[in-house]
């Protein structure tokens, strides 16, 4: 999708601090971190959010969920981390390309 900033990061036309990449997803540091460690994990495929998922995306979602812990641990979060995904205006979503926030380092109870 040409006007999606996260698709541009996937394509390499917008710079990001990429810390993990495979055939299906990438992870990069959030530009405006809300915790000492703040990483975004996104599918390479443009999907708006959880509400836009289709049955065919099930393997991709399983793949991504299984990658989150290793990505978090690679950033020093061996003792745990917080995962957030915002969906739609009611969820405070700002960038409409599905992403999982990984936050850690100084997390207060929700
Ligand atoms: P959300 O509110 O869940 O849509 O969160 C979007 C996140 O993307 C925010 O935490 C932003 O700080 C982050 N963000 C926006 N633009 C960029 C960018 N170019 N590179 C990295 N993170 C970004
Ligand atoms: Zn996109």
Instruction: List, for residues 50-63, the tens digit of each pLDDT value.
Output: 999 999 999 999 99
51 contacts 88 by C-beta, under 8 angstroms: yes
3-class secondary-structure state, position 79:
coil
pLDDT band for position 108 (50/70/90)?
A: confident
Task: Report which ligand 1 atom has the smallest distance to the Cα of 28.
Answer: 21
Has residue 107 got a pLDDT over 80?
no
- Asked if pLDDT for residue 1 goes beyond 70, the answer is no
Place of tokens 């991709």: 60
Tokens of 85: 């995904």
Phi, psi of 90, deg, nearest 5: -70, -20
Mean pLDDT value of segment 64-73: 98
Verify whether ligand 1 is closer than 6 Å to residue 79 (CB atom).
no
Nearest residue to 10 (alpha-carbon basis) of 40, 32, 42: 42
pLDDT in tens, 14-57: 999 999 999 999 999 999 999 999 999 999 999 999 999 999 99
| 92 Cα–ligand 2 center, Å | 17
Active site residue 97: no
């Amino acid at each position: 999708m040409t006007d999606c900033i996260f698709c541009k990061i996937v394509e390499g036309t917008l710079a990001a601090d990429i810390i993990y990449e495979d055939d299906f997803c990438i992870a990069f540091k959030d530009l405006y971190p809300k915790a000492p460690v703040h990483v975004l994990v996104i599918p390479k495929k443009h999907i708006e959010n959880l509400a836009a998922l289709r049955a065919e995306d099930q393997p991709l979602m399983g793949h991504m969920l299984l990658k989150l812990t290793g990505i978090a641990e690679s950033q020093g979060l061996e003792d745990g981390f917080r995962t957030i995904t915002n969906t739609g205006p009611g969820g405070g979503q700002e960038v409409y390309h599905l992403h999982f926030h990984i936050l850690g380092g100084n997390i207060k109870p929700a």
